[in-house]
A and B are shown apart, each in its own frame.
Chain A
Amino acid sequence: MSRYLVDKFLYTVDRDPELVERYRVEPRETVLWWEAERANSVLNCHGGEASTWLRFTDEEREALAGHDHVALFSLGAHPFLTLTLFIAMFERDHGPLEYQKAFGARLAHFSMPYPDIAT
């Protein structure tokens, strides 16, 4: 399990307008590229000082590549990161708050306690 890395993907994509668009349009390609090129970047450090050990599990990679926010929730991805990025990608296709409500409704089968989000 690499919950931290899933959160790192959501975080680094969400703060970059070009990556938000790229992930919206080509999710699988973006996830594979990001895992190969960016997953091990230590933020604020040059490439020669990258980490060497970070990779997604197959389940995590599929959840991200499939824009599957329900699976991300069950894996313990930080829900604020998931929500913020998914609103950025998909709210535009919906009426006011329609996307946010549908996002919540798709999670209706989860009861307390929710999946752990600690990293």
Chain B
Amino acid sequence: MATVAAVIASTHHPFYYRASTATGEDRPPFADEWVRKITAFRQTLTAARPDVLVMVGSDHFHQLWLDNMPQFLVGKAPFYDANWYNEEREFGLPRMLLKGQEDLSAHILRAGLDSGFDLAFSNELRIDHSVTCPIITLRPEADLPIVPIYTNIFAPPLPQPKRFVQLGQTIREIVESWPSHLRVAIVGTGHLSLELGGPRQFGPHGPDPEFDAKAVEWIATGDIERCLAEVTLDSLHSPGNATHGFMDFMLMMGVAGAGRKADHVDSLDLFHTMEAYFTWYPNGVPT
């Protein structure tokens, strides 16, 4: 069976690409520290020697729209074009082309459906920065085949937080039951507290540093129980109007497992939002 070589949870900050490649006067003062932290984070994936990446993210009203909105969707295609005109326009993100791993997509869809998740699927999916940001930060060669999984954290009504955790637990089991010799890294991105298009956006730090500190602690210690006790669909409005993206971190806590401490924990307090990076090695830290 396949090996889960690493479980990785991260924020996906669309400004990283531009900040990290800027030079001279255009380079923001926080860029060097950010690059240093990302480089260390990248090494945690490289050390796991993955063959395939399962990438959990959320479409930002690019291909998925309110006339036809899935809650959880798995891509199954030989290739995925990536990044959209408005992401090039606002963030300077490059066009990308990623290979797909269709066998694993098919396995996740079949086993997911049989495990109580009525997953939607897409055979032609153009992916956005929720998937390409972690490619840029963690695997800039963009050379590994992927299985994209999209969650709806964006267009209410949303699934309950516990469903995200359960889906993560199920994805872990499904990947471990894939009849393959390949090493799979499961990578997911979300947000800590975040405000977009509201009065608390683009402040000197994330809109709710207290929530961010608690969230980092829950993730780093694998404290799913406390996280689920405190987080509801209603409560997530308080830290910032886009904080429902935290549920993708909860999904990744489900993948990593209850009580599992992360092997790598880092964060960076930026304007507008806090960055946070976590890696677990289910089969031991690579030597």
Q: Secondary structure at chain A's binding surface: helix, strand, loop or mixed?
A: helix
* A80:B197 contact, CB within 8 angstroms: yes
Q: With A and B bound together, what is the CA distance between A9 and B139 in angstroms?
A: 36
Q: Looking at the complex, which one of A7, A11, A73 makes contact with B197 (CB distance below 8 Å)?
A: A73
* B198:A17 contact, CB within 8 angstroms: no
Q: Secondary structure at chain B's binding surface: helix, strand, loop or mixed?
A: loop
* A100:B201 contact, CB within 8 angstroms: yes
Q: Looking at the complex, which one of B65, B85, B90, B197 makes contact with A82 (CB distance below 8 Å)?
A: B197
Q: Looking at the complex, which one of A79, A82, A84, A118 makes contact with B156 (CB distance below 8 Å)?
A: A118
* A84:B86 contact, CB within 8 angstroms: yes
For B61, list chain A residues within 8 Å (CB). Answer: 11, 78, 80-81
* A84:B84 contact, CB within 8 angstroms: no
For A103, list chain B residues within 8 Å (CB). Answer: 197, 201
Number of A-B contacts (CB under 8 A): 78
Q: How far is the CB of A101 from chain B (nearest CB, A)?
A: 5
For A69, list chain B residues within 8 Å (CB). Answer: 197
Interface size of A by CB at 8 A reads 36
* B90:A113 contact, CB within 8 angstroms: no
Report B's interface with A, CB cutoff 8 A.
Answer: 60-62, 65-67, 84-86, 89-90, 154-157, 195-203, 237-238, 241-242, 271
Report A's interface with B, CB cutoff 8 A.
Answer: 4, 7-8, 11, 14-15, 17, 42-43, 69, 73, 78-84, 87-88, 97, 100-101, 103-105, 107-110, 112-114, 117-119
